[in-house]
Structure 1
């Protein structure tokens, strides 16, 4: 792909140095549809990023766009805080009928602020309020958000350092296979819990991702998740599953914990819950945990009605018949076969591949290779990001609605980018 030098002057002179994604993809995007994005010069890019997982149904999905345009054209309420609106009612009823009831999940639904970290903050606050304890256990390489409470349970040292103050009341434990299988699951955790001299305050809750996205696509085994749920139950700790990136069908089932057969006490959902990239998040919890006083946790933009509209449309279109889960798992097998072939072609440059559904990571033996591969993929017309503590993993996060042909095209580009880089 031949790319002319874009005019980035206003971004470089006026926008903060904190910007990041745009540095790896130095062009000016103009429009997008489905799994493709186009820059202002008309160059086409196949999107294996999907808004960091907030566009599971692709860019400008026509079904969701139609629902949104119709709502806006009739002057439907846009901003409503936590007022009752027809859009909110439609979402709640659809969510109950298509997601909660078929899975026999009893959750109450809370609308915190519109981002994932808002949902995590509300989950941590609720757990502490219910249990009357301040300590939260998280896991190595976890990522839960960029606000202070979420950072306190996040593992990445670079992101934690940005807080500028001590991050307290969070204790990390080894994630699944962090110790390469050399010790039994949770032996360290339970020893600390039972020893009054360990220095670990009795935790209010444990927060976990079933697949650590930012941490490097680290996939927890179903048996590990079940053991964790059992530890929480035996030691009177609430189990919080952060499903912000891995929920909404990313791993196959609507919730990423379904395969393990567990029912967390609290679940955080965001990113693709609106389906259209509109800000929205949920904090779900068992009814007996609903001890909030009115207004005890709030936010000006917790009632994003356009997001309710597209969310309800997405649930009705994609989650009423179970076909989305089957399709995602089939597309995942397609990716896995490509990863297997790449690993075989480059045994010295690649360490391993791992994933579930339509989230996959390829770990490189030389960390900076991943960033070089992502940049070469961009030059070839493919958008991929990196993850892991040293950005050593090439991360694939295509839309769930991507066609087999588009997926195959992107995987071929990735294979070429790796071949030309390593």
Structure 2
């Protein structure tokens, strides 16, 4: 352990909550160098929706590498990219009636967001972007400008401009009509609001506290954007690729965003990869206007193609995710009732779930207690007040039961001060 303390920057974070050295991982479990097994309710912050080292993706990757397939390609044409694009069109876009062009930015979610913001400004000729309270869109400057968390924003060291926050769904606990302020300032010539190029939104705010938006709220937002000529960007970096059930998290609201950001689980294997999807008429980029050295990660194309073929040619994974999510919701509701002095509030959708604590500091203590019992979890929310449950979508029923039992034990531990 000393090498990490001696050499690695103080910026490291997750390892402080889980002070062991992990060695191997498969499915929903990680094992440390001492042979201790840990159940994973973290899933790489949404990067490992299919679990660790899924066999259906590992073999095509190994075969590709063994035959000396192109690994680094920038944006040159390769067989791996062609197979991914063809499969993505046939398995994802066409069945959903979506006519999106596909851009490969740099391989992170933040880079996808940066690209989307730049493209929206180029299309509209406007600078301003509307974001939402408690949003998280990444750690680069453009992404931080539309992020809500004050600690993360403070790390920028410079003013974060050209973005205006609006209340997210249920920000006022249902006491204020949807979009009352937003529509008022858009229509008021004295509001000082610059005409927005775009609105960027998460359908479930992950880092912001596992806050789900209602279908009617998202639909109303899409209609508002259409009326005012504002582009709608959905950041599906963490909540896409089946995390809430459907492949895209916005499908349940029956909307078609102008631009969609994907990353994290799109490669299916934890390999860096990101996509920006844009309606065909919005593809106004000039060649090379947005690029990146690692936008052609061909091993990620291979595993992404295998993941689409393995998990998305039928609806079994989607149905399983929804069913498991409902089980978690029922369990957390019973737990909240049983531990009422803690003022617990279940939150989320699909397999993005959270348990908010009335006393914020207790969420972290509960996650620590869970780790001591062999379960990996993180906190979320502006005050880290939410225990966040993000298991792999492929987790078995027995593993889910095991994890929920640990969550219950950890909460009771905090409640009793044991």
> What TM-score, normalized to structure 1?
0.98
Question: Which of 94, 100, 122 is the aligned partner of 2:87?
Answer: 94
Report whether the alignment pairs 1:16 with 2:18: no
Partner Cα distance (1:24, 1:199) in 2: 44
Match of 1:310 in 2: 303
Partner Cα distance (1:179, 1:358) in 2: 25
Q: For 1:38, what is the secondary structure of its paired residue?
A: strand
1:39-82 Cα shifts (integer Å, max 9, x gaps): 00000000000000000000000110011000000000000000
Q: CA deviation at 1:350?
A: 3.0
Match of 2:340 in 1: 347
Match of 2:144 in 1: 151
Q: CA deviation at 1:341?
A: 1.5
Gaps of 5+ in 2: none
Q: For 1:151, what is the secondary structure of its paired residue?
A: helix
Q: For 2:340, what is the secondary structure of its paired residue?
A: coil
Question: Which of 220, 230, 234 is the aligned partner of 1:237?
Answer: 230
Q: For 1:37, what is the secondary structure of its paired residue?
A: strand
Partner Cα distance (2:340, 2:81) in 1: 51
Q: For 1:348, what is the secondary structure of its paired residue?
A: helix
Q: For 1:329, what is the secondary structure of its paired residue?
A: helix
Report whether the alignment pairs 1:70 with 2:63: yes
1:208-234 Cα shifts (integer Å, max 9, x gaps): 000000000000000000000000000
1:329-360 Cα shifts (integer Å, max 9, x gaps): 11111111210111111112033101111010
Q: For 1:136, what is the secondary structure of its paired residue?
A: strand
Partner Cα distance (2:189, 2:333) in 1: 47
Report whether the alignment pairs 1:161 with 2:140: no
Match of 1:297 in 2: 290
Partner Cα distance (1:107, 1:407) in 2: 36
Match of 1:50 in 2: 43
Gaps of 5+ in 1: 1-7
Partner Cα distance (2:320, 2:83) in 1: 26
Partner Cα distance (1:234, 1:80) in 2: 41
Partner Cα distance (2:113, 2:288) in 1: 17
Q: CA deviation at 1:322?
A: 1.3
Question: Which of 301, 309, 322 is the aligned partner of 1:329?
Answer: 322
Partner Cα distance (2:344, 2:319) in 1: 29
Match of 1:60 in 2: 53
Match of 1:368 in 2: 361
Q: CA deviation at 1:199?
A: 1.0
Partner Cα distance (1:181, 1:330) in 2: 28
CA root-mean-square deviation:
0.5
Partner Cα distance (1:206, 1:44) in 2: 43
Report whether the alignment pairs 1:405 with 2:398: yes
Q: 1:374-393 maps to which residues of 2 (within 5 A)? A: 374-393=367-386
Partner Cα distance (1:226, 1:313) in 2: 33
Partner Cα distance (1:332, 1:388) in 2: 20
Match of 1:112 in 2: 105
Question: Which of 264, 274, 288 is the aligned partner of 2:267?
Answer: 274
Partner Cα distance (1:292, 1:184) in 2: 38
Q: For 1:343, what is the secondary structure of its paired residue?
A: helix
Match of 1:221 in 2: 214
Partner Cα distance (1:199, 1:44) in 2: 56
Whether the 8 Å contact between 1:350 and 1:362 is mirrored in structure 2 is: no
Partner Cα distance (2:302, 2:168) in 1: 37
Whether the 8 Å contact between 1:116 and 1:244 is mirrored in structure 2 is: yes
Q: For 2:223, what is the secondary structure of its paired residue?
A: helix
Q: For 1:204, what is the secondary structure of its paired residue?
A: strand
